[in-house]
Amino acid sequence: MSLWRRIARWAAAVGATAREWWSSSAAAESWLGSGGGERHRTGWRAEDYAAANLTRLGYHILGRNVEVGPDEIDIVAEHDRTLVFVEVRSRRDGSPIRPSSTLTREKRRRILYCGRAYMRARRLGDVRHRFDIAEVYLNADGRPCRFEVIEAGVTDPADD
């Protein structure tokens, strides 16, 4: 069972949603230590911001935080008759490196595997698809302030 599913069960036991439970400083700090809860809240804000901007750009959001085995896909969407798997990455605005450059070979491999497993499970083998990266830039307060999408930004590590 994934960590997120376990969190959802514990949250239900105390009458909260998983996000509410996890976002409470006591819950997050008990799991991750000081500052862990804020990191997750920042990630959720970045994902919310990315989803809103993708919708504005004409993407139809089909799912968010879609679990595929032990992993998850941040956003599954449809855009111009193409199934799109979106990985959301965020960094502080003014950072010397782009959010997309934080994708390791292993993370790219896992993203591609998840997307392909998603398609196999739904028998979508002949559907046109791609793997995009949503870059979210954060201001000094950790709030999203800028967004860019890199279409087909996730490439196969074997092609490096």
pLDDT of residue 126 exceeding 50: yes
Q: 160 vs 76, which has greater pLDDT? A: 76
Residue 65 carries which DSSP code? Answer: E
Which tens digits make up the pLDDT trace of 2-12? 555 555 565 56
- From CA 153, how far away is CA 87, in angstroms rounded? 9
71 shares its domain with 149 = yes
67 shares its domain with 134 = yes
Which tens digits make up the pLDDT trace of 107-117? 999 999 999 99
| Total number of domains constituting the chain | 2
pLDDT of residue 130 exceeding 80: yes
- From CA 92, how far away is CA 42, in angstroms rounded? 11
Which tens digits make up the pLDDT trace of 27-62? 554 544 444 567 777 888 999 999 999 999 999 999
Pick from 57, 32, 55, 56: nearest CA to 42: 32
Pick from 78, 72, 53: nearest CA to 149: 53
pLDDT band with cut points at 50, 70 and 90 for residue 23:
low
28 shares its domain with 77 = no
Average pLDDT of the residues of the chain: 83
> Domain range for residue 20?
1-34
pLDDT of 70 reads: 81
pLDDT band with cut points at 50, 70 and 90 for residue 128:
very high
pLDDT of residue 78 exceeding 70: yes
30 shares its domain with 48 = no
Pick from 39, 38, 46: nearest CA to 137: 46
pLDDT of 41 reads: 79
79 shares its domain with 135 = yes
117 shares its domain with 75 = yes
